[in-house]
Amino acid sequence: MRPIILLALAVSACAPVAGPPTWHRDIQPLVKEKCGQCHHPGGIGPFELDSLAMMRAEEGRVRPAVTSRRMPPWPASNSCAEYAPNGALTDDQLALLELWYDSAAPEGDPKTAAPQSLLATGLSRVDRTVTMSEPFFPQKSPDEYRCFVLDWPETAPKFITGFNVVPGQPQLVHHANLFFIHPDSVAAYQAKDDAAPGAGYECYNFPSPIGEGGWIGTFVPGSLGADFPPQTGLKILPGSKLFIQVHYNIVNGGPKPDRTSIELKLEDKVRREGSVQAWADPKWMSTAGAMRIPKGAADVTHRFSMDPTPYLSLANRSFLDGQPIKLYMATAHMHAWGKSARMEIERADGSKDCLVDIPKWQFHWQLPYSLKDYKVLNPGDKLSVECHWDNSEANQPVINGVRQASKEINWGARTEDEMCVGGFFISQ
Ligand code: HEC
């Protein structure tokens, strides 16, 4: 018997309500919160972990997965900043799960089950669902990038306060980027969509955040959507359109018609207008070779840092230049050669305030990290994004079943290229 069990028995002897952890009281809520998002029927996890029977049957796989911190996926370091929600198991939760298995995984009393409201839910309310007007049949193998322009149904200004993307064919939707288009840029995008036969059009470019529209968010398999930070929202004028770029990959599913939907939570008013901003060196995109990753190099770094405050009105028409901004959420984007990533605020006094630190990049887990309390960036501070790549012979990724040959890599949208982008939810 391990000492930890003796401790639990000793505790239960003097406090009869405690005792070893039980499924109903302790483990089910934990599993729902930290695993349920993916390991539910139809979820992206390879099996379900939504019942006592499954948790007992899968002990041999669950224990090593959680103790090695492979599961739940949460590549960010929790010593950089405090996040809420936080996808990682806390040390206490991990100890509880291990103690439960050590105690022969008792069921306990269903009457002690935690109330549903404590559990992670994703998007809290759906006020509008916008669906692709006709199905799209992805057939290019393996990858196809398709953009769709969708009608915005509201007739008065509204704020989007949360979103979720519901893929019509979850097996085929590798990821999706969601935007809105300002009324004065709608005609140009509608014309591109109308000119191509079938639903949507092939595309690699998004509406420019400078004048044409704004980013709403990104969908990756497993995400249940999310509310934006309390009291914030993205302002959408009547006459706008939604724009979604879907990256289809038919390797795992075979071609099937897809009609993806967007679920939105809406409000008439919010306290602070928000904006979702991508952060990368404009030179990386405009100048060939500016983000060069030489063939064979095992540690290549590119870094961009700048004070964004003089340019805020370009990012959002309602923002004022030269004013502080609040940062609520941060995420990093790289491709398959990524090694680590870090985003921080470099204070005018030289100190650094960590936003997200991903010590070991995991291509498949590009998660958003919501700061428990927002951080303020003042004029004179800089916002930085730093990416490291490993392009050595030994670290060539397998893309669509093919191990890549080592070669020089540059900035580009395709999986065979690289990127280094920070994403932030901000307000003034
Ligand atoms: C965000 C989605 C997501 C969450 C949350 C998640 N998983 Fe997973 N899990 C996956 C996917 C996808 C796979 C298969 C691919 C892989 O192994 O990365 C997987 C694989 C596994 C495996 C088998 C592979 C291995 O690494 O041993 C186990 C066991 C597992 N998960 C347990 C858990 C447990 C326990 C939790 C919660 C404490 C959890 N997972 C949370 C998505 C998730």
What average pLDDT score do residues 220-234 get?
Answer: 90
Please provide residue 55's backbone torsions phi and psi, each rounded to the nearest 5 degrees.
-65, -35
- pLDDT band, residue 116 (cuts 50/70/90): low
> Tokens 């008065």, residue?
156
Percent pLDDT > 90 in the chain is 78
Ligand 1 atom at shortest distance from the alpha carbon of 367: 1
- pLDDT band, residue 204 (cuts 50/70/90): confident
Q: Which of 23, 37, 38 to mutate to test the pocket of ligand 1 (most atoms within 8 A of CB)?
A: 38
Instruction: Name the residue with the closest Cα to ligand 1, atom 2.
Output: 38
- Beta carbons of 217 and 180 less than 8 angstroms apart: no
Percent pLDDT > 70 in the chain is 94
For 17-31, 148-162, 267-281, which range has the lowest pLDDT when averaged over its residues? 17-31
Dump pLDDT digits (tens) for 134-179: 999 998 888 899 999 999 999 999 999 999 999 999 889 988 999 9
On the question of pLDDT at 232 being above 60, the answer is yes
pLDDT of residue 9: 33
HSE-CB for 146 with a 13 A CA cutoff: 25
> Which residue, among 272, 292, 279, 377, has the nearest Cα to 330 in the 3D structure?
279
CA of 368 to the centre of ligand 1 (A): 18
Dump pLDDT digits (tens) for 318-373: 999 999 999 999 999 999 999 999 999 999 999 999 999 999 999 989 899 999 99
Query: Using a 6 Å cutoff on CB, does residue 35 contact ligand 1?
Result: yes
On the question of pLDDT at 216 being above 60, the answer is yes
> Tokens 């065979």, residue?
416
Query: Using a 6 Å cutoff on CB, does residue 71 contact ligand 1?
Result: yes
pLDDT of residue 4: 35
Q: Which of 55, 66, 71 to mutate to test the pocket of ligand 1 (most atoms within 8 A of CB)?
A: 71
Query: Using a 6 Å cutoff on CB, does residue 335 contact ligand 1?
Result: no
Q: Which residue has the higher pLDDT, 383 or 115?
A: 383
CA of 248 to the centre of ligand 1 (A): 23
CA of 33 to the centre of ligand 1 (A): 13
CA of 58 to the centre of ligand 1 (A): 11
Give the chain's length.
428
CA of 64 to the centre of ligand 1 (A): 11
CA of 226 to the centre of ligand 1 (A): 20
> What are the Cα distances from residue 421, in Å, to 13, 165, 360?
55, 21, 16
What average pLDDT score do residues 416-423 get?
Answer: 95
Dump pLDDT digits (tens) for 31-83: 998 998 889 887 788 999 989 999 999 999 999 999 999 999 999 999 999 99
- Beta carbons of 298 and 313 less than 8 angstroms apart: no
What average pLDDT score do residues 90-97 get?
Answer: 96
What average pLDDT score do residues 195-205 get?
Answer: 93
Query: Using a 6 Å cutoff on CB, does residue 46 contact ligand 1?
Result: yes
Instruction: Name the residue with the closest Cα to ligand 1, atom 23.
Output: 61
CA of 45 to the centre of ligand 1 (A): 6
Count of other CB atoms within 10 angstroms of residue 129: 12
On the question of pLDDT at 287 being above 80, the answer is yes
CA of 233 to the centre of ligand 1 (A): 32
Dump pLDDT digits (tens) for 294-313: 999 999 999 999 999 999 99
pLDDT of residue 244: 98
> What are the Cα distances from residue 248, in Å, to 4, 50, 143, 207, 251?
48, 29, 6, 19, 9
Query: Using a 6 Å cutoff on CB, does residue 66 contact ligand 1?
Result: yes
Query: Using a 6 Å cutoff on CB, does residue 32 contact ligand 1?
Result: no
On the question of pLDDT at 15 being above 60, the answer is no
pLDDT of residue 250: 87
pLDDT of residue 41: 82
CA of 169 to the centre of ligand 1 (A): 21
